[in-house]
Structures are given as C-alpha cells and as structure tokens.
C-alpha cells in the first residue's frame, strides 16, 4: 500500500507515492535521484547519509521517507548557492578534509550542525560533534582543521 508524500528537497517541491517501508536515504537517492547522501552502514553508525531535516542533521538511513512528509530536507547538493561553495565545503577543500570523499557529504552536514549549535567550538568540541560520522581515510585531523578554518573565516 503506497502512501503519498510531499516534501521539499533543497528548496524544490517533491510529491511521490512511496511504500511506507522505503527508507529516506533510498527515497533521496533512488526517487529524487540525488547522489550526495551516501549509504555506508544502514545502522546509523557511519553518518555518510546525514542530511538536514527541518534544519537538524539526521541519518537518513534509519528513518522512513514517509516520516519526512511535509518537511524540508537539505542535502549536500543544496549547500552551494549559485555555484558558490558553502564556507564549510570550501574549508574541507582548503584543508584536505577528505580523501576518497565517500563520508564527506555526511561529514560536512554534521559539521554544519555542529557550527549551528556552537559557532566557536574548541578542538574537543569539534571532535565530539563529529563522533557520529566515520571517516576511514583522514584520521580526522584535517577534518578538524577544516572546521577550525571555517570558524576562523566566519570571524567568530
């Protein structure tokens, strides 16, 4: 029994009939044809699927698409406005905060949430703020540098 959902993704309206069991990550990737949010574990551990739901970072692999009905989703694709990178994206680039890039969209969304909650975090706060997102390439140090650098750019 499919259900009709309507939601906004990166400012665009979407309406689709979906199975109630369809995961939000599969909706975003298979139905809305996005490539930014990734699937890494399906158990809410790795955070590669992190997106913003009504302004809060969530792991889209462990919620259903129907739970996003009537809500607003922002993915990594929605960050760069008119071709200008978000300062956090720019900082990840400048500081080499990624290698294979697979965790990066989720990591950047988690970093956005962290900075929204705490615009001037300490290194310890950055590390704890990102502990729900796994990266196997960088050892996290350049990611920490990227967040620090985004803070410095914002002039907080």
Partner 1 sequence: MATTITKPESLVGKRVRRQEDPRLITGTATYLDDIKMPGMHHACIVRSPHGAARIRGIDTKAAGERPGVVAIFTGKDIAGLGAVPCASSLPGLRVPHHHLLAQDRVYYVGHPVAVVVASDRYIARDAADLIEVDYDPLPAVTDPEKALAEGAPAVHPEWPGNVAFTFHQDGGNVEQAFAEAEVVVKQRITSQRLIPTAIETRGVVAEWRSGEHSLTLYSSTQIPHLLRTLVAGILGMPENKLRVITPEVGGGFGSKLNVYAEEALMAFIAQRIQKPVKWVESRRENFTCTIHGRGHVDYFELAAKRDGTMVGLKLKLIQDLGAYLQLLTPAIPTLSVLMMPGIYKFKNISADITGVFTNCVPTDAYRGAGRPEATHGIERMVDILAAELGMDPVEIRLKNFVGNDEFPFATATGLTYDSGDYAAPLRKALQEVDYAGLRLEQTKAREEGRLMGIGISTYGEICAMGPSPALPAGGWESATVKIEPTGKVTVMTGASPHGQGEETTFAQVVADELGVPMDDVLVVHGDTAVVQYGIGTFGSRGTAVGGAALFYALQDLKAKMKKFGAMLLDSSSVTLSGGHCVDPQSGKSVSFGEIATAAYHAKRLPPNTEPGLVATHFWEPPNFTFPFGAHLVVSEVDRDTGEIQIRRYVAVDDCGKIINPLLVAGQVHGGVAQGLGQALWEQAVYDDNGQLITGELTDYALPKAHLMPWIESSHTETPSPVNPLGVKGVGEAGTIGCSPAVVNSVVDALSPLGVRHLDMPLTPEKVWKAIEGGKA
Minimum Å distance from CB 124 to partner 1? 8
Asked if residue 27 lies in contact with residue 33, where contact means CB atoms within 8 angstroms, the answer is: no
Q: What is the dihedral of CA 81, 142, 119, 156, to 10 degrees?
A: -90
Minimum Å distance from CB 97 to partner 1? 8
Minimum Å distance from CB 115 to partner 1? 15
Which residue, 68 or 145, is less far from partner 1 as judged by CB? 145
Judged by CB under 8 A, the number of residues near partner 1 is 58
Q: Pick from 53, 58, 115, 135: which binds partner 1 (CB under 8 A)?
A: 135
Is position 119 an interface residue for partner 1 (rule: CB under 8 A)? no
The angle that helices 141-154 and 87-94 make with each other, rounded to 10 degrees, is: 130
Which residue, 70 or 101, is less far from partner 1 as judged by CB? 101
Q: For the sheet containing 3-9, what is the strand order?
A: 12-18, 3-9, 72-74, 50-53, 56-59
Rounded-to-integer distance, Cα 40 and Cα 49, Å = 7
Is position 100 an interface residue for partner 1 (rule: CB under 8 A)? yes
Q: What is the dihedral of CA 145, 83, 29, 43, to 10 degrees?
A: 10
Is position 99 an interface residue for partner 1 (rule: CB under 8 A)? yes
Asked if residue 40 lies in contact with residue 103, where contact means CB atoms within 8 angstroms, the answer is: yes
Q: Pick from 13, 15, 43, 81: which binds partner 1 (CB under 8 A)?
A: 43
Task: Catalog residues that contact partner 1 under the rule CB under 8 A.
Answer: 19, 21-22, 26, 29, 33-43, 45-46, 48, 75-77, 79-80, 85, 89, 92-94, 96, 98-105, 108, 123-124, 126-128, 130-131, 133-144
């Amino acid at each position: 029994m499919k259900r009709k959902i309507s939601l906004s993704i990166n400012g665009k309206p979407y309406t689709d009939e979906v199975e109630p069991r369809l995961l939000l990550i599969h909706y975003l990737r298979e139905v809305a044809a996005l490539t930014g949010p990734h699937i890494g574990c399906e158990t809410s551990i790795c955070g590669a699927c992190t997106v913003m739901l009504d302004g809060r970072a969530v792991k889209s692999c462990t919620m259903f698409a129907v739970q996003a009905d009537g809500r607003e989703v922002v993915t990594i694709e929605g960050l760069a406005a008119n071709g200008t990178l978000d300062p956090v994206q720019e900082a990840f680039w400048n500081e080499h905060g990624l290698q294979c890039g697979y965790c990066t969209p989720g990591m950047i969304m988690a970093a956005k949430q962290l900075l929204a909650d705490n615009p001037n975090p300490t290194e310890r706060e950055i590390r704890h703020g990102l502990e729900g997102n796994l990266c196997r390439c960088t050892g996290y140090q350049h990611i920490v540098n990227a967040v620090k650098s985004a803070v410095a750019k914002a002039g907080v």
